[in-house]
């Protein structure tokens, strides 16, 4: 018989895996939607695929599944405030991008955050049920590097962290 895992202990343990921080965006019926996400990963080079995992109860979940197209902005250190904003549940959706420098992806129309380390525009090719989340796999349609000099924003043990790479010798 399998012993049930304690959810808080699980979060503490997996929180020891440092991740980058992204904001995933989508457009539906003229509205722009966003969600902070650290469950993002590269999947395949041929074809070029990535994935992310939205929580089923998040408003963004149904939007991105209905839209079928989305963009990922990989955040830099200076974008912690944007990460916190788009992680907040129940925030007003109207004017949520006000005061945040952004543009619109030429292939999907989804918001791409200016100053991001990297950006990807994607089209959903498959989904899979994963407990209280859905795994969304997307074909990468386009790539960008909005700020090639930015340092990454990291998330580790429930806190934002910074990383400054050592110069190459």
Angle at CA 62, nearest 5°, toward 11 and 52? 45
pLDDT band of 48, cuts 50, 70, 90: very high
pLDDT digits (tens, 9 = 90+) for 51-95: 999 999 999 999 999 999 999 999 999 999 999 999 999 999 889
Helix, strand, coil in percent for the chain, rounding step 5: 15, 45, 40
pLDDT band of 166, cuts 50, 70, 90: confident
């Amino acid at each position: 018989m399998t012993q049930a895992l304690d959810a808080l202990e699980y979060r503490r343990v997996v929180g020891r895996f440092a991740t980058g921080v992204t904001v995933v965006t989508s457009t539906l019926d003229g509205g722009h939607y966003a969600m902070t996400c650290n469950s993002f990963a590269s999947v395949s080079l041929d074809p070029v695929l990535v994935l992310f995992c939205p929580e089923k109860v998040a408003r963004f979940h149904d939007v991105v599944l209905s839209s079928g197209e989305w963009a990922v902005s990989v955040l830099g250190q200076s974008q912690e405030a944007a990460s916190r904003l788009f992680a907040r549940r129940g925030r007003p959706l109207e004017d949520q991008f006000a005061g945040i420098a952004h543009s619109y992806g030429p292939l999907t129309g989804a918001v791409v955050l200016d100053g991001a380390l990297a950006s990807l525009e994607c089209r959903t090719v498959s989904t899979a049920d994963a407990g209280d989340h859905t795994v969304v796999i997307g074909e990468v349609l386009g790539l960008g590097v909005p700020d090639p000099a930015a340092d990454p924003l990291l998330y580790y043990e429930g806190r934002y962290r910074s990383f400054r790479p050592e110069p190459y010798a």
